């Protein structure tokens, strides 16, 4: 929508707010995730790492579906970062070795029109 006043054109969004240059109505959502899994000493560690990463990527792939179900009309995953750490926790009789996958999932979304409006 465009409004004109004395030769000045200003874009406003559907809520009447002025848009800034480059403002396309999209926002960024970023999620952080940490998964801790036991490491089986009798299995290949590299294979277990791939399995852990695959689990993380499955969560990342489903992130837009959850966002679309709840707060957004559009969603696109724009980046995924991961880090895998293995830790031997067997000292002192504690639990065995563990693998921790941490990561960030960034999404570009357009929020539903009802988001941010006061409840009626």
Task: Say whether pLDDT at 76 is over 70.
Answer: yes
pLDDT of residue 116: 65
Whether 13 has a pLDDT exceeding 80, the answer reads no
Q: Compute the Cα dihedral for 32, 81, 79, 17 and give only its sign.
A: positive
Domain boundaries, the chain: 25-111
- Residue 50's beta-bridge partner residues? none
pLDDT above 50 for 35: yes
Say if residue 39's pLDDT is above 70.
Answer: yes
Three-class DSSP category at 54: helix
Q: Measured on CA atoms in the order 63, 64, 69, 71, is the torsion positive or negative?
A: positive
d(CA 10, CA 101): 46
- Average pLDDT, stretch 67-71? 94
Amino acid 118: pLDDT: 63
Structure confidence at residue 94 (pLDDT): 59
pLDDT at 3: 39
pLDDT-derived band at 88 (thresholds 50, 70, 90) equals confident
Buried b (16+ CB within 10 A) or exposed e, 68-94: eeebbeebeeeebebebeeeeeeeeee
- Please indicate, yes or no, whether the overall pTM of this predicted structure exceeds 0.75: no
């Amino acid at each position: 929508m465009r409004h004109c006043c004395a030769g000045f054109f200003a874009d406003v969004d559907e809520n009447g707010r002025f848009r800034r240059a480059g403002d396309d109505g999209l926002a960024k959502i970023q999620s952080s995730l940490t998964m801790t899994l036991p490491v089986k000493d009798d299995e290949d560690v590299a294979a277990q790492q791939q399995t852990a990463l695959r689990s993380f990527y499955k969560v990342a792939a489903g992130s837009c579906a959850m966002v679309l179900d709840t707060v957004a009309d559009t969603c696109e995953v724009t980046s995924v970062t991961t880090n895998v750490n293995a830790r031997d926790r067997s000292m002192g009789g504690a639990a065995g070795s563990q693998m921790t996958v941490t990561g960030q999932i960034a999404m570009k979304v357009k929020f539903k029109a009802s988001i941010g409006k006061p409840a009626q």
